[in-house]
Amino acid sequence: MSFVIAVAGKGGTGKTTLASLLISLLTKRNQGAVLGIDADPNSNLAEALGLKVKEDIGGIVDSVAKNLAGIPLGMTKEAYIDFRIQTSILEEKGFDILTMGRPEGPGCYCYVNNLLRGLIKKLADDYSYIVIDNEAGFEHLSRRTMRRADRLLLVSDASEAGLRAAKRISDLVKELEFDIKEISLVLNRTNEILLKDKLKDLGLGIFSVIAEDEELLNLSRQGKPITCLDHSSKAYLEVNKLLDIILK
Ligand SMILES: Nc1ncnc2c1ncn2[C@@H]1O[C@H](COP(=O)(O)OP(=O)(O)O)[C@@H](O)[C@H]1O
Ligand SMILES: [Mg+2]
């Protein structure tokens, strides 16, 4: 069974940055196949890794629904969608990327979630590692796309809103009784231990602190992928350390 790392938190806190860096580092370690799943409808995980999405799950569901006559004879709609999704997986440089996207048809969102959940279960044996970049909100958690994870990383910046979102996700995950072995808070773009009291109030411990990173800023300014991040950059070193601990 694959080792699943899920990343969640408020929008703009650094989820995709962390997820893409984890995928890049896991690939470099060369210890088995890596699958990245972009479960955020505002997809940009593939892009962060320098890839271009051809078709996402939402788009596939829409296009099949619009052209039912295009389903091969003797194949159910579900089987055909499943086939289309499997062939849409981007296979690149040692890791694969699956992008969920957002279907346009009404009432399709749950359908896509269910598809994705089934697919994750099926793919779990094909990959050693799965990294899930989750949607910013936490509504999707109650739709239960992600039920199992070995580690849930909650990303927050130093803002009150970011920390509260992390806390809410942590509470919700426990309430819904997901099978999550460990939940850890990752503070991003900060080096303040000034947050100690606030974190204590929220009942959150710090697992990792990623400082504001000039090199990351430069990359995103130049539109370069995370795979170009310098190995001596703060974010690279910290996430590498974080990975050591998680995989131990
Ligand atoms: N530690 C950091 N230092 C500097 N810039 C960062 C850092 N973490 C994230 N960023 C930048 O912040 C922006 C938002 O990050 P992103 O990972 O897309 O957030 P999210 O996926 O949570 O919405 C990106 O432009 C990213 O390059
Ligand atoms: Mg993101």
CATH number (domain holding residue 129)? 3.40.50.300
Q: Report how far ligand 1's centroid is from the alpha carbon of 157 (Å).
A: 10
| Domain region containing 203 | 3-247
Q: Nearest bound ligand to CA 211?
A: 1
Could you identify the residue written with the tokens 């504001």?
212
Rg (the chain; Cα; Å): 18
Ligand 1: which residue has its CA nearest to atom 9? 14
How many domains in the chain? Answer: 1
Residue 200 pLDDT greater than 90, yes or no:
no
Q: What is the dihedral of CA 49, 51, 57, 60, to 10 degrees?
A: 180
Mean pLDDT to the nearest integer, 159-180:
90
Query: Checking phi first, is residue 185 left (phi over 0); if not, alpha (psi -120 to 50) or beta?
Result: beta
> Which of the listed residues 17, 23, 135, 191 should we mutate to test ligand 1's pocket, taking the one with most ligand atoms within 8 A of CB?
17
CB of 156 closer than 6 angstroms to any ligand 1 atom: no
Highest mean pLDDT among 113-117, 157-161, 173-177: 157-161
Residue 91: what pLDDT? 87
Q: Report how far ligand 1's centroid is from the alpha carbon of 204 (Å).
A: 22
Q: State which ligand 1 atom lies nearest to the alpha carbon of 133.
A: 21
Mean pLDDT to the nearest integer, 81-89:
91
pTM (2 d.p.): 0.94
